[in-house]
Amino acid sequence: MIKDELTTLIEKAIKKAQRKGDLPKYESPPVTVERPKQAAYGDYSTNIALQSARLARKSPMDIAAAIVKRLPKADFIGLVDIAHPGFINFTLDAGWLARQVEAIRAAGERWGNVDIGQGRRVQVEYGSANPTGPLHVGFGRNVVIGDTLANVLAAAGYQVQREYYVNDAGTQIQLFGRSLYARYAQALGREAELPENGYRGQYIVDWAQEIAAMAGDKYLRMDYEEAVQALADLGIREKALGSVRADCERLGIIYDHWFSERSLYTDGTFDHVMSLLRQGDHLELREGAVWFKAAELGGDKDEVLIRSTGEPGYFASDIAYHYDKFITRGFDWVIDVWGADHQGHVPRMKAMMRALGLDPERLTLLIYQLVTLKEAGEDVRLSKRAGTMVRLSEVLDDVGPDAVRFFLLANAIDSQMDFDLTLAREQSQENPVYYVQYAHARIASILRHAAEQGWTAERYADGDVSLLNHPSELTLIRKMLELPEIVEMAARNLAPHHLPHYAQDLAATFHAFYRDCRVVSSDPADEELTKARLKLVEASKITLARVLGLMGVSAPERM
- Answer for which of 448, 456, 461, 528 binds RNA (CB under 7 A) is 448
The answer to whether 17 touches 28, Cβ cutoff 8 Å, is no
| Type of residue found at 71 | L
x/- map, 302-331, RNA, by CB under 7 A: --x--xxx-x-xxx----------------
- Answer for which of 15, 20, 72, 85 binds RNA (CB under 7 A) is 85
Q: Quick one: which segment of 34-42, 222-230, 319-327, 349-357 binds RNA (CB under 7 A)?
A: 34-42
Residue 73 found at the interface with RNA (CB under 7 A): no
Residue 456 found at the interface with RNA (CB under 7 A): no
- Answer for which of 186, 438, 467, 526 binds RNA (CB under 7 A) is 438
Residue 514 found at the interface with RNA (CB under 7 A): yes
Select 13 or 519, whichever has its Cβ closest to RNA: 519
- Answer for which of 5, 34, 109, 226 binds RNA (CB under 7 A) is 34
> 529 in helix, strand or coil?
helix
Sheet holding 333-339, edge to edge: 257-260, 159-166, 121-125, 333-339, 363-368
> 247 in helix, strand or coil?
helix
Considering only residues 491 through 510, tell me which ones interact with RNA, judged by CB under 7 A.
Answer: 495, 497-498, 501, 504, 507-508
Cα–Cα distance measured from residue 129 to residue 519, given in angstroms and rounded to the nearest whole number = 50
C-alpha triplet 230, 231, 234: angle, nearest 5° = 90
Considering only residues 204 through 233, tell me which ones interact with RNA, judged by CB under 7 A.
Answer: none
Q: Quick one: which segment of 48-56, 188-196, 211-219, 223-231 binds RNA (CB under 7 A)?
A: 48-56
Cα–Cα distance measured from residue 422 to residue 430, given in angstroms and rounded to the nearest whole number = 13
Considering only residues 342 through 381, tell me which ones interact with RNA, judged by CB under 7 A.
Answer: 342-345, 367, 369-370, 372
What are the DSSP calls for 97-164, one per residue? HHHHHHHHHHHGGGTT---SSTT-EEEEE-----SSSPPBHHHHHHHHHHHHHHHHHHHTT-EEEEEE
Report in angstroms how near the CB of residue 121 gets to RNA at its nearest: 26
The answer to whether 70 touches 17, Cβ cutoff 8 Å, is yes
The answer to whether 235 touches 206, Cβ cutoff 8 Å, is no
82's enclosing H/E stretch is strand 77-83
Cα–Cα distance measured from residue 217 to residue 315, given in angstroms and rounded to the nearest whole number = 37
Residue 382 found at the interface with RNA (CB under 7 A): no
Report in angstroms how near the CB of residue 257 gets to RNA at its nearest: 19
Considering only residues 248 through 277, tell me which ones interact with RNA, judged by CB under 7 A.
Answer: none
# residues near RNA by CB under 7 A: 86
Report in angstroms how near the CB of residue 159 gets to RNA at its nearest: 26
Q: Quick one: which segment of 116-124, 198-206, 225-233, 428-436 binds RNA (CB under 7 A)?
A: 428-436
Instruction: Count the Cβ atoms, other than its own, within 10 Å of residue 558.
Output: 9
Report in angstroms how near the CB of residue 212 gets to RNA at its nearest: 27
- Answer for which of 515, 523, 524, 525 binds RNA (CB under 7 A) is 515
